[in-house]
Amino acid sequence: MEDQRKTEKIIEIENLFREFEDGTVAVDNVSFYVRKGEFITFLGPSGCGKTTTLRMIAGFDKPNGGRILLNGKDITDIPPNKRPINTVFQRYALFPHLNVFENIAFGLKLKKVKVTYEDKNKNTITKIEKLSKGEIAKKVEHALKMVDLEGFEKRSVSTLSGGQQQRVAIARAIVNEPKILLLDEPLGALDLKMRKDMQLELKKMHKKLGITFIYVTHDQEEALTMSDTIVVMKDGVIQQIGTPTDIYNEPKNSFVADFIGESNIFSGTIVGDKKVKFINHVFDCVDQFEKNEKVDVVVRPEDVVLLDEGKGQVDGKIVSSIFKGVHYEMVMMVGKTEIVIQDTVERKVGEKVSLDIKPDLIHIMEKEFSSNKYDGYITKKNTVCFGDGEFECDVTQLYPGSFVDEEGYLITAEGEKIDLTDVDVNVEVGLKDIEISDEQDVGGVSGNIVSMIYKGDHYQLIVRTDENEEDFVFDTEDTWNENDRVSVIIPKEKIKLSLKEEIKR
Ligand SMILES: Nc1ncnc2c1ncn2[C@@H]1O[C@H](COP(=O)(O)OP(=O)(O)OP(=O)(O)O)[C@@H](O)[C@H]1O
Ligand SMILES: [Mg+2]
């Protein structure tokens, strides 16, 4: 996929890193490139680092590490006004006291251009001059034409609709004839209908102008319809780069699959050569994985075919059916697992059916997590500190046959007395071994639910702590809400410990 994108690179980003003064890492070692004339979109949930990345490309923010190249030249230290880049911001700011013409002309009036002419002695003379009134008027007119607002010059911006104001903001950016236009959620403030119209207009404008667009959105549909290339981000890290079709059809992990479009995500196991078992059935697939590997299996709702009972691969029962305009969205239960299916043919609730999935429509990806691993240390009370918290644990597992005496020393099978205070340990906790409670302080640490992905018969949740943003990833059948504040409970016997290094005795 990468080698197909051979056309000339206009922007290259190498290992970009941005940590704010408060320790927030907004962009974590990000590398990618943008081809000349491309429409590239940054897509990801709120707070994933999209705006920060864009601000660094524009020059409004400085990276703590990495480089930004423009046409092969390092521009990391060049101020924003010296870069051939213009930005349409997330919250657009027009000057309310100026009319449409003046808003767009504002930057041009400050602009100085190099003019070269020959004097009467045939000497070439170069002068720096301001643009003439006539030139400014011509440029503003052209920009207004681009955004379909001819004749709006004299209108006060406060009388314009949201969509029109947004178009003025875009005209103001393109009037400078930038080589690259950065657009940070430019349609975020508009209602759905207007957003759809503006999406088409922006796309048209991109074609007409022939310049490079770097676009930011958290709306997956917007990204899919508008972009040549999509960069999916999460927590400051790029998850996948590809064409809309790549990203939709071949998501690299369950985060991308869940974020882009609707998906069924199942936990599966590879049971043989191109054979994967999920929903208690062995399916043929096309991806090669190691035998016995635990995997995530992604199947799009439109890729599941419904047949009469007994005619397909797995039988089940329809438990819900909703008409969605063009297709029906139906939920089929196979045992305790829900499968979402889209089909133009309706199956009634209660109907017994069978499903069929073609091998190449079964997308298999490495499981992102098989267990949680932390660095920890033992305390004086024989508890263990890790993941921003303190948990009861069984320290005797570090020495088979040992026990803890009344004074809190560990006595080994050989009768040796060991003080474990401050000893560093590796801590491992399985995905099924974490519970949460909305009662604060009953667990070892508190945090917020930052992610919840449905996996067919259970949810995979991530609870993130406040202090050092430590993650606890686990499976649960209970429903919670994102941003719920919870405390993390891990039964003592589920905390697996191992020594970082042998204790010197
Ligand atoms: N000046 C700052 N100081 C400290 N933290 C910041 C600063 N600017 C951004 N952040 C943090 O960096 C992370 C990334 O922020 P950013 O604005 O890039 O996200 P985003 O992807 O644009 O989100 P949204 O979709 O909400 O606009 C967030 O956690 C944010 O709180
Ligand atoms: Mg943003």
* 3-state SS string for 33-93: EEECCCEEEEECCCCCCHHHHHHHHHCCCCCCEEEEEECCEECCCCCHHHCCEEEECCCCC
What mean pLDDT comes out for the span 394-408? Answer: 93
| Helix 133-146, helix 100-110: angle, nearest 10 | 130
- 91 Cβ inside 6 Å of ligand 1: no
Does residue 53 register a pLDDT over 80? Answer: yes
Query: How far does the centroid of ligand 2 lie from the alpha carbon of residue 46, in Å?
Result: 7
What mean pLDDT comes out for the span 194-222? Answer: 89
Query: How far does the centroid of ligand 1 lie from the alpha carbon of residue 49, in Å?
Result: 6
Q: Which ligand is nearest to the CA of 55?
A: 1
pLDDT computed for residue 366 by the predictor:
82
What mean pLDDT comes out for the span 457-483? Answer: 90
Candidate from 16, 18, 19, 20 with most ligand 1 atoms within 8 A of CB, to mutate = 20
CA atoms of 304 and 299, how far apart (whole Å): 7
pLDDT computed for residue 189 by the predictor:
73
Residue whose CA is at the smallest distance from ligand 1 atom 27: 46
Look at 12 and 367; give whichever has higher pLDDT: 12
> Domain locations in the chain?
2-84+178-249, 254-366, 371-499
pLDDT computed for residue 226 by the predictor:
93
* Distances 6 to 1, 36, 222, 382 between C-alpha atoms, Å: 10, 11, 25, 58
Does residue 368 register a pLDDT over 90? Answer: no
Q: Could you identify the residue written with the tokens 């929903």?
A: 279
Look at 352 and 367; give whichever has higher pLDDT: 352
Q: What size, in residues, is the chain?
A: 505
Q: How buried is 21 (Cβ within 10 angstroms: 0-12 exposed, 13-18 middle, 19+ buried)? A: exposed
pLDDT computed for residue 262 by the predictor:
83
Look at 223 and 457; give whichever has higher pLDDT: 223
What mean pLDDT comes out for the span 58-86? Answer: 93
Q: Binning pLDDT at 50, 70 and 90, where does residue 505 land?
A: low
Q: Which CATH number fits domain 2-84+178-249: 3.40.50.300, 1.10.10.10, 3.40.50.2300, 2.40.128.30?
A: 3.40.50.300
Look at 111 and 196; give whichever has higher pLDDT: 196
- For strand 275-278 and strand 281-284, is the pairing parallel, antiparallel, or unpaired? antiparallel
* 3-state SS string for 259-277: HCCCCEEEEEEEEECCEEE
Query: How far does the centroid of ligand 2 lie from the alpha carbon of residue 457, in Å?
Result: 33
Residue whose CA is at the smallest distance from ligand 1 atom 19: 47
Q: Which ligand is nearest to the CA of 42?
A: 1
- Residue 11 is encoded by which pair of tokens? 């922007």
Closest ligand 1 atom, residue 49 Cα: 18
Does residue 278 register a pLDDT over 90? Answer: yes
pLDDT computed for residue 147 by the predictor:
85
Q: Binning pLDDT at 50, 70 and 90, where does residue 174 land?
A: confident
Residue whose CA is at the smallest distance from ligand 1 atom 2: 20
Query: How far does the centroid of ligand 2 lie from the alpha carbon of residue 75, in Å?
Result: 22
| Number of C-beta neighbours around residue 419 at 10 A | 13
Query: How far does the centroid of ligand 2 lie from the alpha carbon of residue 207, in Å?
Result: 25
- Residue 110 is encoded by which pair of tokens? 């400050």
What mean pLDDT comes out for the span 435-441? Answer: 92
Q: What mean pLDDT is reported for the chain?
A: 90
Q: Which ligand is nearest to the CA of 52?
A: 1
pLDDT computed for residue 1 by the predictor:
43
- 227 Cβ inside 6 Å of ligand 1: no
CA atoms of 108 and 133, how far apart (whole Å): 10
What mean pLDDT comes out for the span 313-319? Answer: 96
- 48 Cβ inside 6 Å of ligand 1: yes
Does residue 172 register a pLDDT over 50? Answer: yes
Q: Binning pLDDT at 50, 70 and 90, where does residue 2 land?
A: very low
Does residue 263 register a pLDDT over 70? Answer: yes
In 3D space, the residue among 249, 209, 224, 214 whose CA is nearest the CA of residue 1 turns out to be: 249
- 50 Cβ inside 6 Å of ligand 1: yes
Candidate from 27, 50, 259 with most ligand 1 atoms within 8 A of CB, to mutate = 50
Of 90-99, 256-265, 284-293, 384-393, the poorest mean pLDDT is in 90-99
pLDDT computed for residue 124 by the predictor:
85
pLDDT computed for residue 43 by the predictor:
96
What mean pLDDT comes out for the span 103-115? Answer: 83
pLDDT computed for residue 250 by the predictor:
85
What mean pLDDT comes out for the span 392-404? Answer: 94
- 218 Cβ inside 6 Å of ligand 1: yes
Closest ligand 1 atom, residue 45 Cα: 25
Query: How far does the centroid of ligand 1 lie from the alpha carbon of residue 485, in Å?
Result: 21
Strand residues in 260-412 grouped as ranges (E): 264-272, 275-278, 281-284, 294-299, 305-308, 314-323, 328-334, 337-343, 352-356, 363-366, 371-378, 383-386, 389-392, 403-404, 410-411
Query: How far does the centroid of ligand 2 lie from the alpha carbon of residue 218, in Å?
Result: 9
Does residue 382 register a pLDDT over 70? Answer: yes
Closest ligand 1 atom, residue 55 Cα: 18
Does residue 47 register a pLDDT over 60? Answer: yes
What mean pLDDT comes out for the span 301-310? Answer: 96
Residue whose CA is at the smallest distance from ligand 1 atom 8: 52
Query: How far does the centroid of ligand 2 lie from the alpha carbon of residue 448, in Å?
Result: 21
- 49 Cβ inside 6 Å of ligand 1: yes
Query: How far does the centroid of ligand 2 lie from the alpha carbon of residue 210, in Å?
Result: 25
What mean pLDDT comes out for the span 35-58? Answer: 95
Fold of 254-366: OB fold (Dihydrolipoamide Acetyltransferase, E2P) (2.40.50)
Query: How far does the centroid of ligand 1 lie from the alpha carbon of residue 434, in Å?
Result: 29
CA atoms of 255 and 455, how far apart (whole Å): 11
Closest ligand 1 atom, residue 50 Cα: 21
- 46 Cβ inside 6 Å of ligand 1: yes
Look at 294 and 338; give whichever has higher pLDDT: 338
Residue whose CA is at the smallest distance from ligand 1 atom 7: 20
The three-state secondary structure class of 235 is coil
Write the CATH number of the domain with boundaries 371-499: 2.40.50.140
Q: Binning pLDDT at 50, 70 and 90, where does residue 4 land?
A: very low
pLDDT computed for residue 503 by the predictor:
64
Does residue 3 register a pLDDT over 50? Answer: no
Sign of the four-CA dihedral 415, 421, 422, 428 = positive
Residue whose CA is at the smallest distance from ligand 1 atom 22: 51
0.75 cut: is pTM over it? no
Query: How far does the centroid of ligand 1 lie from the alpha carbon of residue 76, in Å?
Result: 20
Q: Binning pLDDT at 50, 70 and 90, where does residue 192 land?
A: confident
Q: Which ligand is nearest to the CA of 89?
A: 2
Q: Sheet of 445-454: strands edge to edge?
A: 435-437, 485-489, 445-454, 459-465, 471-476
Domains 254-366 and 371-499 share a fold: yes
Candidate from 52, 60, 233, 237 with most ligand 1 atoms within 8 A of CB, to mutate = 52
- pLDDT cut 90: percent of the chain above it: 64
Look at 227 and 109; give whichever has higher pLDDT: 227
What mean pLDDT comes out for the span 88-98? Answer: 80
Closest ligand 1 atom, residue 18 Cα: 12
pLDDT computed for residue 242 by the predictor:
96
pLDDT computed for residue 6 by the predictor:
53
Does residue 187 register a pLDDT over 80? Answer: yes
